Amino acid sequence: MYDLLVSILTDRFEVRPELVSPQARLTSLGLDSLFVVELSFVLEGDHGVEISLDELAGASTLSEIAQLMQDKQDASL
């Protein structure tokens, strides 16, 4: 799921790849609360992964978001 998240960040949200790492925080990538809303829609609409805004907002790093994505996908199987 981390690779998918990186792809979404770099392709759809135009985050520079050299800034992306598992420990990166959204604010260090120049992303704000609007990004969390948009990411939620992208994950659900394009990838069938439903994560609440509160869950996404509570994630501190990209690795935590990727873990949430994995957990939600596993729970839907």
- Find the CATH number of the domain harbouring 24: 1.10.1200.10
Q: What is the DSSP letter of 28?
A: G
- Is 0.85 surpassed by the pTM of this model? yes
pLDDT class of 33 with cuts at 50, 70, 90: confident
3-state secondary structure (DSSP) of residue 24: coil
Write down the pLDDT at residue 31.
87
Residue 55 has pLDDT above 80, yes or no: yes
Q: How many domains does the chain have?
A: 1
Domain that holds residue 71: 2-75
